[in-house]
Amino acid sequence: MLNPSSYEVENKIIPITRLTALWALSESMLGGLLHAAHVPLRGMIISSAAVIIICLIAHFSEKKGEILKATIIVLIIKGAISPHTPFAAYLAVFMQGLFGEIFFYKKRFFAFSSIILGAVIGILTGLQRFVTLTLIFGATLWDAFNQFMNYAVNEFLISSSQTNSINFSIILVSSYVLIHFIFGLAAGTFAAKLPKKLISNDAKEMLLSKSNLDSAKVIASENQRKKKKWWKKPTYLAILIFSAIHLAISYFNPQAINLNQKSILLMLIRSFLIIIIWFFYLSPLLMSFIKKMLHKKQNAYTNEVSSIINHIPQYKNITVLIWKSSSKYKGLRRLNHFMTGLIVNVLTLEISD
């Protein structure tokens, strides 16, 4: 199934279809692998994988528009494989592809464009959760968080009124976004070096043998997980618990916190109404519109979409084998080995594209 002699990355005889397939696979399967391995900040890792693949598409493509074309195909496949994918996931993928097309419009500065793309996608990924929480709960959430944290510091650590001016929400948001920015920067830097790494002897040693692939069996249920209801997600559970504690403090010790019970209750009622309106009215309308648009585009990309979907099982086999082989490494070294080995093997897989 694999033929190392066909390893012609340096000649750029690599179909963009394979990189598109890898991007679609990472969107539909990587989350399950990371979840099974209990890896935190999975969204950050998946967006970083998208950055790396977009940079490779830009490197190997011969004409403009290939990144946007790949983005549309990924969205079509994402909708076919995971029909219950939320609107935000479609928007995130589209924004990644759009920024990739913009930053690689001129490919003379590939390394610089890769790093900038990684940094921008990292910031957007980090901000996404906080923007969503602000739209749902309003600014009251962050006021309540600041006052609760200042109250906790005064009560248990410092016991001084001087801490009331500390804006803990800004510290939290800044730290979270900074982590994503650094990770995105690292992904962009990794992508900038990857074309040369793919033709190195170390990369060729990562090629899987035909017997490895023939013996690989991927059980679909292994990497599938039931989608949690929104009220069972850790973030929303934490906010509900935090709100209950805040209500208790405002009732038993109202002088300690400026926000009263009414403000917290209004925040919760607001969030409940927005979630109901979004999930039952706005989201279905937007998803219906997106699916209609993608269906129109699907006719133009029938061959590419069919080819990728038909070969997804083989890509899954490679993904699982490379992930298992990378288990001897830890942390970022494992991700480094996994991404390099996965890309090398997918690009040299002997199938008709």
Encoding tokens for residue 288? 């219906």
The pLDDT confidence band at residue 99, using thresholds 50, 70 and 90, is very high
What pLDDT, on a 0 to 100 scale, did the predictor assign at position 226?
Answer: 52
Q: What is the pLDDT of residues 38-58, one digit of tens each?
A: 667 778 888 999 999 999 999
What pLDDT, on a 0 to 100 scale, did the predictor assign at position 212?
Answer: 67
Q: What is the pLDDT of residues 238-290, one digit of tens each?
A: 777 777 776 777 666 666 666 666 777 778 888 888 888 877 888 888 888 88
Mean of pLDDT values over 321-333: 83
The pLDDT confidence band at residue 102, using thresholds 50, 70 and 90, is very high
Work out the percent of the chain whose per-residue pLDDT is above 70: 78
Burial of 83 (0-12, 13-18, 19+ CB in 10 A): exposed
Q: Is the pLDDT of residue 19 over 70?
A: yes
- Are 247 and 238 spatial neighbours (Cβ–Cβ below 8 Å)? no
What's the whole-number average pLDDT of the chain? 79
What pLDDT, on a 0 to 100 scale, did the predictor assign at position 117?
Answer: 96
- Are 127 and 177 spatial neighbours (Cβ–Cβ below 8 Å)? yes
User: How far apart are the C-alpha atoms of 349 and 208, rounded to whole Å?
Assistant: 10
- Are 73 and 308 spatial neighbours (Cβ–Cβ below 8 Å)? yes
Work out the percent of the chain whose per-residue pLDDT is above 90: 21
- Are 261 and 245 spatial neighbours (Cβ–Cβ below 8 Å)? no
Q: Is the pLDDT of residue 304 over 90?
A: no
Higher pLDDT, 218 or 97: 97
Higher pLDDT, 222 or 268: 268
User: How far apart are the C-alpha atoms of 135 and 129, rounded to whole Å?
Assistant: 10
What pLDDT, on a 0 to 100 scale, did the predictor assign at position 37?
Answer: 65
What pLDDT, on a 0 to 100 scale, did the predictor assign at position 41?
Answer: 75
Burial of 152 (0-12, 13-18, 19+ CB in 10 A): middle
The pLDDT confidence band at residue 217, using thresholds 50, 70 and 90, is low
What pLDDT, on a 0 to 100 scale, did the predictor assign at position 210?
Answer: 65
Please state which of the ranges 109-118, 241-250, 296-305 shows the lowest mean pLDDT: 241-250
Burial of 278 (0-12, 13-18, 19+ CB in 10 A): middle
The pLDDT confidence band at residue 28, using thresholds 50, 70 and 90, is confident
Q: Is the pLDDT of residue 221 over 60?
A: no
Residue entry with tokens 């400026």: 258
Please state which of the ranges 12-16, 143-147, 338-342 shows the lowest mean pLDDT: 12-16
Integer CA distances (angstroms), 262 to 110, 141, 265, in order: 54, 13, 5
Mean of pLDDT values over 322-326: 84
The pLDDT confidence band at residue 10, using thresholds 50, 70 and 90, is very low
Q: Is the pLDDT of residue 213 over 90?
A: no
What pLDDT, on a 0 to 100 scale, did the predictor assign at position 233?
Answer: 67
What pLDDT, on a 0 to 100 scale, did the predictor assign at position 335?
Answer: 80
Encoding tokens for residue 57? 């598409």
Q: Is the pLDDT of residue 7 over 60?
A: no
Q: pTM for this structure?
A: 0.79
Cβ-Cβ contacts under 8 Å for 185 (sequence gap 6 or more)? 115, 118, 119, 122
User: How far apart are the C-alpha atoms of 350 and 353, rounded to whole Å?
Assistant: 9
Higher pLDDT, 171 or 252: 171
